[in-house]
């Protein structure tokens, strides 16, 4: 008995010295491991707290300090403290990620520790290996179903005189605004490197513009308050408004649905790289992605094994269709994006 007790105490001492905890009831020699991660405000934060975090805790036993942060703010905070970064894993829009990809603030993903990477189709694989495309947002023509009985079918419908003062736009400072402007440029013979056709379109559109929102959240509020009837928007925002009883719907443009991808990254100099890898692996899991694609979040999955159901299934029946949606070439747009944002802010006034 004395020998057994001595061996237990020796094991406890070794565990305490190495910072490990052992499964002895009532004994604790280390804090629960904690990961610091970012998400986006609104539905993203809600879905991550309600779906991703519980799944991660179940897989690892670790806790997550989740911070709602816009991509620009996230990157600024990392660059301000590179040696001791405030986050271990970050969620970014594709544009801000690619603009900062070469700044040396992201770790190469350990593929062997993120097995769910193998379930991503080609359009959602980051060739640099510095991030993982964990989700996508679908955008289309948002409109008020009470005031517009016939669903619009084209972005050119915005120019119709009956919509005078009823069009809403979102600033190019937002990912949605920049993606939409790039799409308008392409439709009218331009590109991410030639945005002149988009600015020409908006100039003609100005008499119909009733409000310009700084971000998608404010744009949704404008619909809710009845200040606008027609705009570009994401499916998750529109479905959230419908759930509140707002008479809105999302229509497919004749140029096809638009797609904005989101990425997750392990921050360089994280003290918990293995936990960070497991967090991304959990975010890529079929179960988590399936739940996030359902109501009320409607975040499009990137795991090819996730099924399209409900409202998402009305837009895309499978991953093949999703991959065909219109996307933005941010590598071409980013070099002049600041210039375009400044021009948009100067020229688009209501």
Strands 248-251 and 132-144, sheet pairing: antiparallel
d(CA 245, CA 247): 6
CA dihedral (178, 324, 136, 301) in degrees, to 10, reads 180
Q: 186-223: b or e for each residue (b if 16 or more CB lie within 10 Å)?
A: bbeebebeebebbbebbeebeebbbbbbebbeebbebb
Q: Which domains does the chain have, with CATH numbers?
A: 31-136+260-326 (3.40.190.10), 138-257+328-347 (3.40.190.10)
Quick: pLDDT tens for 247-286. 999 999 999 999 999 999 999 999 999 999 999 999 999 9
Residues of the chain below pLDDT 70: 1-30, 350
3-class secondary structure per residue, the chain: CHHHHHHHHHHHHHHHHHCCCCCCCCCCCCCCCEEEEEECCCHHHHHHHHHHHHHHHHHHCCEEEEEECCHHHHHHHHHHCCCCCCCCEEEEEHHHHHHHHHHCCECCCCHHHCHHHHHCCHHHCCCCCCCEEEEEEEEEEEEECCCCCCCCCCHHHHHCHHHCCCEEEECCCCHHHHHHHHHHHHHCCCECCECHHHHHHHHHHHHHEEEEECCHHHHHHHHHCCCCCEEEEEHHHHHHHHHCCCCEEEECCCCCCEEEEEEEEEECCCCCHHHHHHHHHHHCCHHHHHHHHCCCCCCECCCCCCCCCHHHHHHCCCHHHHHCCEECCHHHHHHHHHHHHHHHHHHCCC
Could you tell me which residues come within 8 angstroms of residue 89 by beta carbon, excluding any fewer than 6 positions away? Answer: 35, 36, 37, 38, 264, 265, 266, 267, 270, 276, 279, 280
Identify the pLDDT of residue 97. Answer: 97
Q: Which residue has the tokens 């600041």?
A: 338
Quick: pLDDT tens for 289-330. 999 999 889 999 999 999 999 899 999 999 999 999 999 999
């Amino acid at each position: 008995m004395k020998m057994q007790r001595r061996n237990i105490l020796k094991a406890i001492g070794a565990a305490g010295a190495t910072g490990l905890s052992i499964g002895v009831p009532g004994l604790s020699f280390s804090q629960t491991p904690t990961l610091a991660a970012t998400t986006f405000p609104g539905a993203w934060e809600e879905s991550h707290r309600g779906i991703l975090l519980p799944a991660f805790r179940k897989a690892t036993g670790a806790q997550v300090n989740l911070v709602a942060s816009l991509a620009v703010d996230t990157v600024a905070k990392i660059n301000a403290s590179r040696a001791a970064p405030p986050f271990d894993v970050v969620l970014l829009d594709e544009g801000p990620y690619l603009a900062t990809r070469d700044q040396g603030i992201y770790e190469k993903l350990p593929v062997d520790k993120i097995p769910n990477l193998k379930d991503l189709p080609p359009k959602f694989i980051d060739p640099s290996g510095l991030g993982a495309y964990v989700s996508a947002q679908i955008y289309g023509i948002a409109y008020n179903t009470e005031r517009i009985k016939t669903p619009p079918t084209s972005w050119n419908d915005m120019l119709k005189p009956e919509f005078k003062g009823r069009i809403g736009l979102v600033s190019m400072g937002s990912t949605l605004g920049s993606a939409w402007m790039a799409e308008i440029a392409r439709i009218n013979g331009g590109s991410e490197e030639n945005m002149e056709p988009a600015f020409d379109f908006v100039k003609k559109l100005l008499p119909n513009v009733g409000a310009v929102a700084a971000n998608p959240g404010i744009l949704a509020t404008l619909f809710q308050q009845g200040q606008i009837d027609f705009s570009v928007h994401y499916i998750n925002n529109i479905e959230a408004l419908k759930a509140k009883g707002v008479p809105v719907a999302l229509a497919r443009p004749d140029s096809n649905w638009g797609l904005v991808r989101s990425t997750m990254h392990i921050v360089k100099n994280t003290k918990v790289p293995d936990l960070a890898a497991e967090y991304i692996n959990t975010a890529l899991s079929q179960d988590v992605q399936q739940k996030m694609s359902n109501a009320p979040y409607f975040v499009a999955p990137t795991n090819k094994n996730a099924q399209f159901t409900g409202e998402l299934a009305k837009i895309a029946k499978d991953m093949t269709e999703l991959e065909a949606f219109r996307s933005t070439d941010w590598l071409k747009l980013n070099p002049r994006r600041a210039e375009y944002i400044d021009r948009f802010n100067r020229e688009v006034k209501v």
